[in-house]
């Protein structure tokens, strides 16, 4: 797919919960297979991880994200940071720093326009190593977020030490926010903890106005989900209502 240039990136808006203004975008990978059509990442990321192909694929995503962030900037849309998902293998790869630097440099993209999402499970095998990797990344001006928060090994001692800016609350807690008091309690607790640690919060998978209203009441900073938009190709992203 890489050779045949069949990979595509779609972008999903992340908006401010109160103002509903766009704050950033998440880049999500798709495989435009000539026979199967649009293949979602769940169907190929694991294979790419196991084969090691995730490294060149991940580098391609980094490059495309930097080019897009720079293009939007040049089109006068202001700074729309783009968040890229890192895989475990990429995060452990010694050439990660060089790949990030080269993607930014080739696109002439300011480092503040690139954000990287990592999951809790990626850091548990070797927390010290992970901490060093994170510190090197943030030293370049690229921001880090913890993705799918609450589903992995939510270690509070890590959270205290890691140089991350954002916590993304996993979709599984947002799904039944309107009907499940336990989910509400969990989201409430994550938000309180995150804010006391000085982290920005993003709720994933916001699909309804009811969920959005609750997240506003609970004080979540940002929201992402089908209620605002599905992930879309860059030209459609620009056409989204930005009011």
Using CB under 6 A as the binding rule, whether residue 45 contacts ligand C2E is answered as yes
167 contact choice in Ca ion, ligand C2E, none (CB below 5 to 8 Å, kind-dependent): none
CA 25, 90, 148, 132 dihedral sign is negative
Residue 147 or 221 having the CB closest to Ca ion: 147
The span of 41-49, 125-133, 135-143, 149-157 binding ligand C2E (CB under 6 A) equals 41-49
Sketch the per residue contact string, 63 through 92, with ligand C2E: x for CB under 6 A, - otherwise: ----------------------x-x-----
Sketch the per residue contact string, 167 through 206, with ligand C2E: x for CB under 6 A, - otherwise: --------------------------------------xx
Torsion of CA 172, 220, 16, 169, to 10 degrees: -30
Using CB under 6 A as the binding rule, whether residue 152 contacts ligand C2E is answered as no
User: Crossing angle of helices 96-107/54-74, nearest 10°?
Assistant: 30
User: Crossing angle of helices 181-196/209-218, nearest 10°?
Assistant: 40
- As measured in angstroms, the least distance from the Cβ of 12 to ligand C2E is 6
110 phi and psi, to 5 degrees?
-60, 140
- Token look-up 């993705």 returns 147
Please check whether residue 97 is in contact with residue 66, taking contact to mean a CB–CB distance below 8 angstroms: no
207 contact choice in Ca ion, ligand C2E, none (CB below 5 to 8 Å, kind-dependent): ligand C2E
């Amino acid at each position: 797919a890489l050779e045949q240039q069949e990979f595509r990136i779609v972008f999903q808006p992340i908006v401010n919960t109160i103002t509903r203004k766009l704050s950033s975008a998440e880049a999500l990978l798709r495989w435009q297979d000539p026979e199967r059509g649009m293949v979602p990442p769940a169907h190929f990321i694991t294979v790419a991880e196991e084969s090691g192909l995730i490294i060149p694929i991940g580098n391609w995503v980094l490059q495309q994200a930097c080019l897009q962030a720079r293009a939007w900037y040049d089109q006068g849309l202001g700074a729309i940071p783009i968040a890229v998902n890192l895989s475990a293998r990429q995060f452990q790869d010694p050439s990660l720093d060089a790949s990030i630097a080269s993607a930014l440099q080739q696109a002439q993209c300011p480092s503040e326009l690139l954000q990287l999402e990592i999951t809790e499970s990626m850091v548990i095998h070797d927390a010290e190593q992970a901490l060093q990797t994170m510190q090197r990344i943030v030293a370049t001006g690229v921001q880090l977020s913890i993705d799918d928060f609450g589903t992995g090994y939510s270690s509070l001692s890590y959270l205290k030490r890691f140089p991350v800016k954002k916590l993304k609350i996993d979709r599984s807690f947002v799904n039944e926010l309107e009907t499940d008091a336990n989910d509400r309690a969990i989201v409430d607790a994550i938000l309180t903890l995150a804010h006391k640690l000085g982290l920005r919060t993003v709720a994933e998978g916001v699909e309804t106005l009811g969920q959005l209203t609750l997240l506003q009441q609970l004080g979540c900073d940002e929201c992402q989900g089908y209620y605002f938009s599905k992930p879309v190709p860059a030209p459609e992203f620009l056409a989204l209502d930005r009011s």
